[in-house]
């Protein structure tokens, strides 16, 4: 660090000497100022010339110190990355992506909506695994393999993206070490996946940088596969990471400078504040820095949709960024040029005789009238690119004044160029921008969604308690239910302040639930392999989608010795089908909880402490017979309500983007090594896990079974 400081101080002093007669010398900016991920800008406009000079000196010094080699940026196969301004982060469970009822992908509609609402995407992340990973042994690569149609169908989706001019990313999760291991190392497994589906990039989840071997291995797969880090990328790795996230970067009141973008102008950074309901700050940072945005509305099952104003801003930005991508990736960038209006800031981009200014209005009120005073040049024509119209500048001596209107927290863009610098498609761009401007909105209302319970069809009540069941209730349920916040939320409560971050990630939350539980009966044990085999024989059930159905069975029957173990590799519909055949139904989430914890609300079915020999704790390496732990029965005599396998409940919900069910009880399996895994091992009776639903091939797990319930007629 000492060498770096002295190197930069010498560069700053040298620059001051060279420019002393023509430009204000660098001000009191310490070398550390320029090491921030987002370099804060001085609020005093009189310091901006010095700030720009210091930025230039810092860049020159750091590039020399690091011996920055831009050869990867000069390779044509990577050129696309510098203009990948809008990236869509897509959860594979999103109902807008996979239509469960019609059993088809909706990627074409996803892209159409992206064009209509956001201005289109340049790249897309297929996000899989988290927050579901860890429920059973399947690893991050398995989650791609069990998507509908497997890797072959996924390759077809990537081909569709390519036809639409969109690049495809797959994530790499380095923390996934506690599930099934591949027969090869992670770098090889990622490269194999890239090759199989023709992906264009690797999103490095939770990482600042990729392993040293990634670059060479990806180059061996095919040209042009990029690395993009989630966490702030060190300067030392800008040379071989073409993109990085600018996640949660806090800007200064006067728009600051993205360090990595300033250092290497062709480096693309995607601004993202995933929990924010106001994206104007990210949009300002991107616009002032010629950089990109990550569009992420379904955050692992929580809805954090963009408001109409922010969508309007992005729709106006993107066509300009794409049309002038060479300017935004070029050397002609002058940050913080003087403007004529308070709280309005601008950057200048120059090249090939063209001058372009990106403007932002930091204020909460409209800015109109004179916005920019610039040097007049012969034969120049002027345009307002956001509103899509030519400008008639006001002459002021050797300068011209450009006038316009910026909405509250809005953006602007002025273009000046001689006729010879007119670009192909400029007229079409102006016409499109005018149409876009005509539908712009200033509304900041959050587009909330309502989570709705999918109530099952009414079932007739039984007159008497069927064999193998126990009667419960009626009772007023007024108790806490326990959930893990993670990033997927629970039901309709997220337990975080809307738009103000997500402070309780990974922590437990108690939600008070109240309901009148009519009299019902519940199975004393989970449904076993033996009982499910009888159902298949007598009913002839065959699911619509057979992928992973009873995957652990062989020759049409359960493995020898597992006949009295809970049946697994059944999805919610499989469980419902069995229940209907048996004249029963699945228990609701609250019916299940009450049966497990009893009238006294015990922590575990047997008491308030975890005790040995009461449940399957995983030490036997798999599931156990359903009556293996008689001392672990609930107050109503129910077996296996803690550990062994999770159990489906009649708790299917949807907000139109995320469909999920609550599973209860925990299982024997526990993925060790990371807090990002789903909860494993036996769980308290009050604990419910939000289990995202996609399609049967993915939803069937080695650790989820079920038991049945039935409504009872009221007692006389």
* Those residues with Cβ within 8 angstroms of residue 540's Cβ, 6 or more apart along the chain or in another chain: none
Tell me which of 190-194, 482-486, 600-604, 642-646 is least confident: 482-486
d(CA 639, CA 637): 7
Q: Please determine, for residue 19, whether its predicted confidence score (pLDDT) is greater than 50.
A: no
Q: Could you tell me if 512 and 479 are in contact, meaning their C-beta atoms sit under 8 angstroms apart? A: yes
Average pLDDT on 286-305 reads: 97
In this predicted structure, the answer to whether residue 4 has a pLDDT above a threshold of 60 is: no
Parallel, antiparallel, or unpaired: how do β-strands 389-391 and 381-384 relate? antiparallel
CA pair distance 148, 40, nearest whole angstrom: 47
State the SS3 of 286-321. Answer: HHHHCCEEEECCEECCEECCCCHHHHHHHHHHHHHH
Reading the block at residue 535, the tokens are 């159902």
pLDDT at residue 648 tops 60: yes
| Structure confidence by residue, pLDDT tens digits, 148-183 | 999 999 999 999 999 999 999 999 999 999 999 999
| The two structure tokens encoding residue 192 | 């194999």
> And the tokens for 296?
């992420």
Sheet holding 520-523, edge to edge: 469-472, 520-523, 709-711
What distance in Å separates the CA atoms of residue 656 and residue 697, rounded to the nearest whole number?
21
Backbone φ and ψ for 14, nearest 5 degrees, come out as: -65, -45
Burial class (CB in 10 A: 0-12, 13-18, 19+), 612: exposed
Angle at the Cα of 244 from the Cα atoms of 324 and 63, rounded to 5 degrees = 80
Q: Reply yes or no on domain 458-716 having CATH 3.40.50.720.
A: no
At residue 10, the pLDDT reads 55
Question: Between residues 101 and 8, which one has the greater pLDDT?
Answer: 101
DSSP letter string over 327-373? Answer: HHTSS-EEEEE--SSTTEEEEEEEETTEEEEEEEE-SSS-EEEEEEE
pLDDT at 410 over 50: yes
pLDDT at 25 over 90: no
Joined tokens for residue 316: 């106006």
Q: How confident is the model at residue 716 (pLDDT cuts 50, 70, 90)?
A: confident
Q: What is the pLDDT of residue 514?
A: 96
Nearest to 576 by CA among 454, 415, 713, 698: 454
The tokens describing 685, both together, are 């009776």
Question: Residue 38: is the preceding peptide bond cis (ω within 30°)?
Answer: no
DSSP 130-193: TTTTTSSS--HHHHHHTSTTHHHHHHHHHHHHHHTT-EEEEEE-TT--SSPPPSS-HHHHHHHH
Contact call for residues 245 and 470 (beta carbons, < 8 A) = no
Please report, rounded to a whole number, the percentage of residues in the chain having pLDDT higher than 90.
90
Q: What share of the chain in percent tops pLDDT 70?
A: 94
Least confident of 268-277, 499-508, 604-613, 693-702: 499-508
Element (H, E) at 345: strand 344-351
Per-residue confidence (pLDDT) for residue 459, from 0 to 100: 85
Residue with tokens 């519940």: 522
pLDDT tens per residue across span 518-564: 999 999 999 999 999 999 999 999 999 999 999 999 999 999 999 99
The average pLDDT across 438-467 equals 95
* 112 SS3 class: helix
β-bridge partners, 170 = 202
Q: Helix or strand or coil: residue 325?
A: helix
Q: Are 237 and 270 in contact (CB under 8 A)?
A: no
CATH code of the region 70-247? 3.20.20.80
Res 14: pLDDT:
45
Of 434, 437, 455, nearest in space to 390 by CA: 434
Task: Report pLDDT digits (tens) over 378-394.
Answer: 999 999 999 999 999 98
More confident residue, 473 or 18: 473
User: What average pLDDT does the chain have?
Assistant: 94
pLDDT of res. 493 = 42
User: From CA 186, how far away is CA 177, in angstroms rounded?
Assistant: 10
Q: For 306-446, which CATH class?
A: mainly beta
Banded pLDDT at 505 (limits 50, 70, 90): confident
Q: What are phi and psi of 147, to 5 degrees?
A: -65, 155
Question: Using CA atoms, how far apart are residues 429 and 442, in angstroms rounded to an integer?
Answer: 22
Q: Quick one: how far is CA 301 from the chain centroid? A: 9
pLDDT tens for each residue of 555-590? 999 999 999 999 999 999 999 999 999 999 999 999
Per residue in 51-82, pLDDT (tens digit) is: 999 999 999 999 999 999 999 999 999 999 99
pLDDT at 503 over 90: no
């Amino acid at each position: 660090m000492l060498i770096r400081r002295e190197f930069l101080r010498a560069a700053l002093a040298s620059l001051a000497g060279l420019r002393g007669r023509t430009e204000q010398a660098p001000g009191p900016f310490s070398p550390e100022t320029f090491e921030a991920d987002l370099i804060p800008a001085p609020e005093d406009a009189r310091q901006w010339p010095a700030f720009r000079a210091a930025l230039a000196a810092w860049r020159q010094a750091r590039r020399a110190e690091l011996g920055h080699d831009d050869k990867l940026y000069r390779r044509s196969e990577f050129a696309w990355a510098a203009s990948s301004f809008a990236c869509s982060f897509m959860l594979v469970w999103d109902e807008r992506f996979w239509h469960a009822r019609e059993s088809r992908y909706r990627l074409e509609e996803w892209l159409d909506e992206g064009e209509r609402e956001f201005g289109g995407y340049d790249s897309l992340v297929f996000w899989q695994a988290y927050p579901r990973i860890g429920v059973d042994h399947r690893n991050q690569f398995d989650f791609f393999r069990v998507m509908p149609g497997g890797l072959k169908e996924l390759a077809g989706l990537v081909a569709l993206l390519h036809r639409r001019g969109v690049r495809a990313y797959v994530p790499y999760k380095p923390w996934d070490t506690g599930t099934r291991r591949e027969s090869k190392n992670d770098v090889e497994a990622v490269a194999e996946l890239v090759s199989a589906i023709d992906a264009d990039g690797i999103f490095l989840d939770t990482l600042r940088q990729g392993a040293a071997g990634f670059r060479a291995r990806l180059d061996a797969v095919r040209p042009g596969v990029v690395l993009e880090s989630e966490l702030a990328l060190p300067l030392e790795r800008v040379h071989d990471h073409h993109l990085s996230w600018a996640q949660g970067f806090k800007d200064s009141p006067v728009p600051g400078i993205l360090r990595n973008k300033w250092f290497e102008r062709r480096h693309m950074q995607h601004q993202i504040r995933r929990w924010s309901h106001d994206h104007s700050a990210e949009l300002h940072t991107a616009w002032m820095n010629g950089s990109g945005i990550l569009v992420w509305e379904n955050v692992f099952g929580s809805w954090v949709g963009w408001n109409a104003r922010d969508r309007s801003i992005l729709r106006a930005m993107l066509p300009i960024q794409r049309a002038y991508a060479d300017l935004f990736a070029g050397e002609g960038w002058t940050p913080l040029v003087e403007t004529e209006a308070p709280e309005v800031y601008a950057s200048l981009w120059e090249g090939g005789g063209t001058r372009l200014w990106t403007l932002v209005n930091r204020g909460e009120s409209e800015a109109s009238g004179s916005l920019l005073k610039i040097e007049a040049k012969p034969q120049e024509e002027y345009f307002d690119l956001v509103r899509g119209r030519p400008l008639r500048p006001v002459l002021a001596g050797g300068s011209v004044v450009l006038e316009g209107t910026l909405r509250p927290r809005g953006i602007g863009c002025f273009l000046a160029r001689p006729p010879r610098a007119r670009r192909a498609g400029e007229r079409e761009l102006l016409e499109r921008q005018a149409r876009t401007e005509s539908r712009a909105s200033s509304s900041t209302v959050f587009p909330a969604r309502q989570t709705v319970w999918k109530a099952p069809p009414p079932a007739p009540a039984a007159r008497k308690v069927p064999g193998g069941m126990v009667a419960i209730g009626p009772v007023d349920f007024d108790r806490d239910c326990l959930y893990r916040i993670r990033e997927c939320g629970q039901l309709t409560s997220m337990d975080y302040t809307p738009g103000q971050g997500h402070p309780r990630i990974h922590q437990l939350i108690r939600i008070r639930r109240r309901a009148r539980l009519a009299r019902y009966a519940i199975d004393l044990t989970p449904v076993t392999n033996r009982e499910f085999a009888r159902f298949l024989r007598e009913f002839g059930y065959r699911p619509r989608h057979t992928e992973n159905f009873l995957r652990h069975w062989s020759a049409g029957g359960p493995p020898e010795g597992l006949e009295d173990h809970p049946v697994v590799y059944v999805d919610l519909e499989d469980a419902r089908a069995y229940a209907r055949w048996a004249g029963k139904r699945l228990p609701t989430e609250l019916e299940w909880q009450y049966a497990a914890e009893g009238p006294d609300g015990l922590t575990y079915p047997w008491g308030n402490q975890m005790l040995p020999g009461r449940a399957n704790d995983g030490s036997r390496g798999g599931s156990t017979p359903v009556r293996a732990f008689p001392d672990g029965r609930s107050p109503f005599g129910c077996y296996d309500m803690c550990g062994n396998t999770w159990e489906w409940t009649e708790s299917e919900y949807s907000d139109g983007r995320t469909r999920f069910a609550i599973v209860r009880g925990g299982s024997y399996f526990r993925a060790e090594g990371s807090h990002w895994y789903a909860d494993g091992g036996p769980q308290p009776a009050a604990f419910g896990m939000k289990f995202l639903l996609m399609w049967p091939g993915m939803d069937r797990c080695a650790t989820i079974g079920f038991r049945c319930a039935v409504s009872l007629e009221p007692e006389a």
